[in-house]
């Protein structure tokens, strides 16, 4: 089993361009697995972890409800935002500046073949990171992602998650609000969940801005520990 994970930080990158790149990496892993099965080729399957920050964009999962987007195309254009229907699970979510987005593209045969455990590990990675800032991140029963003050009238979501998996290969991932303009969440019903607020790390800490590179380092520390992975830093390929 190959537990090496190639890390790329794509910087500030268009959503569709990044999605296409994810698909290329995803297909390469799946094709290698198919070849191994057909030809007994014994080829090692790679793993990837992409960090990226997107321009304003709304994405709707395959089971999502378009009515959870509360504005029309004209309003989106006015706000400098785009919209895509995509092939992950989950409902509608927002990506934008000031948000750390992570896309692990892993062959879970290299780690464990349990998609629920995979999602819980991603949540735990974020929960452990938030704990380093003195915040108690929590899971909310029946809902993916990471929340604060679950079970109270003040419950608010700080990290959204949505993944796709095929042949135990994953793509898409998580979006953690760091210095995010929360006003953009007003144009949708986040993840299709009504009456739940959204927050960000800088708001919770009462800071104007949080160091996003520091947050990434903490996330990766917990990712490697949870997945028993070895990170290999690579230059961005897109």
So where are the chain's domains?
A: 52-99+114-226
Residue 212 is assigned to a ligand binding site: no
Cα dihedral sign for 62, 18, 133, 116?
Answer: positive
Degrees, nearest 5: CA angle 171-76-15:
25
Spatial neighbors of 170 by CB under 8 A, at least 6 apart, are 104, 105, 106, 108, 115, 118, 163, 164
> Does pLDDT of 230 surpass 80?
yes
Residue 88 is assigned to a ligand binding site: yes
Which listed CATH number (3.30.930.10, 3.40.50.10310, 3.30.70.1290, 3.40.640.10) goes with 52-99+114-226? 3.30.930.10
Residue 224 is assigned to a ligand binding site: no
Which whole number is the average pLDDT over 182-190? 84
Residue 160 is assigned to a ligand binding site: yes
Buried b (16+ CB within 10 A) or exposed e, 151-171: eeeebbbbbbbbbbbeebbbb
The pLDDT score that the predictor gives to residue 67 is 87
Residue 80 is assigned to a ligand binding site: no
State pTM to two decimals: 0.93
Catalytic residue IDs: 191
> pLDDT, tens digit, for every residue of 60-75?
888 788 888 888 888 8
């Amino acid at each position: 089993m190959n537990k090496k994970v190639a890390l790329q930080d794509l910087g500030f990158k268009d959503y569709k361009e990044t999605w296409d790149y994810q698909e290329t990496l995803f297909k390469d892993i799946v094709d290698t697995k198919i070849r191994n099965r057909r030809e007994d080729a014994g080829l090692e399957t790679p793993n990837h972890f992409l960090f990226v920050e997107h321009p304003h964009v709304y994405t709707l999962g395959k089971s999502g409800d378009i009515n959870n987007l509360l504005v029309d195309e004209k309003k989106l254009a006015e706000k400098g935002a785009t919209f895509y229907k995509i092939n992950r699970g989950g409902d509608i979510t927002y990506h934008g500046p000031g948000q750390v987005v992570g896309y692990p593209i892993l062959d879970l045969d290299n780690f464990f073949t349990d998609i629920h455990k995979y999602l819980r590990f991603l949540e735990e990675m974020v929960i452990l990171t938030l704990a380093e800032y003195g915040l108690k991140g929590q899971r909310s029963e029946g809902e993916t992602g990471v929340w604060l003050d679950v079970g109270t009238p003040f419950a608010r979501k700080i990290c959204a998650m949505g993944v796709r998996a095929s042949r135990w290969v994953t793509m898409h991932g998580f979006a953690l609000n760091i210095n995010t303009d929360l006003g953009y969440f007003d144009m949708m019903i986040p993840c299709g969940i009504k009456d739940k607020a959204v927050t960000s790390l800088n708001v919770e800490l009462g800071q104007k801005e949080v160091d996003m590179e520091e947050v990434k380092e903490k996330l990766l520390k917990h990712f490697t520990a949870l997945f028993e992975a070895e990170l290999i830093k690579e230059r961005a390929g897109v």
